[in-house]
A and B are shown apart, each in its own frame.
Chain A
Amino acid sequence: MHRFANPNRFLRIAALILPWSAAITVTLLVVGLYLALKVSPADYQQGESVRIMYVHVPAAWMALFVYSCLAGASAIALIWKHPLANLAAKASAPIGACFTFIALTTGAIWGKPIWDAWWVWDARLTSVLILFFFYMGHMALTSAFEDASRGERAAAILALVGFINIPVIKWSVDWWNTLHQPASIVRLDGPAIHASMLAPLLIMAASFATYYVSVLILRLRSEILARKMDALRLTRVRDSQEAHSL
């Protein structure tokens, strides 16, 4: 793990991964959207609005996955003071917030025709809304201090405390028997949806995951470059001051 703490080595590896992950994202997204919108059948109850699921479910999975990555990176940053882990957590938060926002909005758009309500105070919906608040709090806390590293370390603790919410979201549909349907893909007795719907769903999920990898690399790269520019500026100021004092 500490091999990748060197920013220059990380930048080299990231430059190798980025074109591949970006290409895979675009390919999977095109194939996935074609299968989801064109090939897969309409639902016998929900009709065409079932297609919202192909965006909603992967976005919701990614909302949880990105938060788990954020919490994992925060733990690594707190325990080993790993310099890149802090930046990874900081770079993940806006991406995860976007995925959460997409999951909530697409859910509302789907809910209006099917449940006849934009929003219900169901356990799953409410716990995901709280996840959105945690992302917002994390971003606000990161940028709330004059000293950037202090904000990152404070946000790392918040990320770990907020991780309590993740199992609550996961099992909210089992603990509280309310409107949102329980899990139908990851189950002991196999997925409960037909292969013609499962395939586009999984392809979309894979493309969302590679999208996260690509954007994370881009954001991390710009964070590292911003740090380097700060350091350069500081040395330049110091040099000019020394030149004056001579």
Chain B
Amino acid sequence: MTDLTNLTLSATLKGLENKEFSSVDVTKAYLQKMEDLRRLNAFITETPEHALEMAKASDEHRAKGIAGKLEGAPIAIKDMFCTKGIRTTAASKILSNFVPEFEATTTERLWQAGAVCLGKTNTDEFAMGSSTITSYFGVTHNPHDETRVPGGSSGGSAAAVAAHMCAAATGTETGGSIRHPASFCQISGFKPTYGRCSRYGVVAYASSLDEPGVLARTIEDCAHMIEPMMGYDPKDSTCSKREVPDLVGALDKNIKGMKIGIPKEYTELVPDNWEPALQFLKEQGAELIDVDMPHTEEAGMVYYVISQGEATTNLARYDGARYGVRVEGKTLDEMYMNTRMEGFGQEVRNRMILGTFFTSAKGYNDYFVPAQKMRSLIKQDFDKAFEKVDVLFSPAVPIKPFTIEEAKHGAAKGRFNDNYLMPSCLTGVPAGCANNGLQVIGRMWDDATVLKVLDVVEMMK
């Protein structure tokens, strides 16, 4: 029998449908792989027993002919999604003992579609980082070179997908946290339009930026994964009532006549496959048009001010009073200080302090308000570009993964690390990274076209 973990999600679903193997078979294969590659530290919590129970139930569903869209497919969940009865840590000591009594809307929908939960994947603490080195549960290694980081913050999910420890995984983006590790681990990643996926039950980092999304081996797999996660949820006031389009059906591999914008600010540094990719798109019948995105450079600063400002209040609830880790003190204030000093890692504490400053009476007017204004200008860049073109095309992260040592010495602060990713996070437009490191960004709500173009990009040899 072939190794079932070598199948893409799409192939796994076909195999299950054709009864070539059962969900229990494929789940066992993944659990074995997880055990074999535990040294990569992709998972914070493995749930093998739970996975086998779900797989058995899935096989019964299939037998009864009531299979959901992801029936029997073993997947991994970034440990930012609250899972009922399964420890959810956000990779932080402060939540290291937290078991939610409720389920995130997006994961609930995945289980309803029949997916099987293998475990919870590692991330930077509270998703703050792009190397998966700030986790309380240790560093995750890049499966392609274990001395290097997998990117982040969804590095555990990316490593698990790349090392075939799951068929697909969920991720979250705030400032590039899906596309960045997808690029570093040579897999596909997609974050839909802000408002497509409910944030209910997702541990908040920066509410106006946080977007649940997916990582998988191909864009087609991403489309299979993301479709059931999307759609209106009355529990999230920022979630859209728009109907969910047929995303898998949109992948018709035809981009003839499509206008693809190349933002010149995103091509300052490009990877080796960049020129061939442009050539390939032209061959596919697309028209390439140069566009200007003049406020790209400012996106990084804007991102830091807004994300840290929001994060500092979102994380205020972790005070040791009601759940999570508590470190006692003589007074209430002392208990807060002890709990938060010990419960949060250095990176989170740094961002809390900066965020507190950015939202202080003085910082608000000097930084937060100007950042919001600049955010509007960045959005205008996109609006203007999309008057001329259907999608934007560029490298995702034009640099090679840095080593764990380099990451510990601030390599992630380099300017080419995430400056092609952040503008699209600030504007909420849909964006994805193909498994060859190239990204496509689309108009608000036009998630289908982004996936369709990415699917073609992945056809390139």
The reply to whether chain A is a binding partner of chain B is no
Which residues of B are at the interface with A, using a C-beta cutoff of 8 A? none
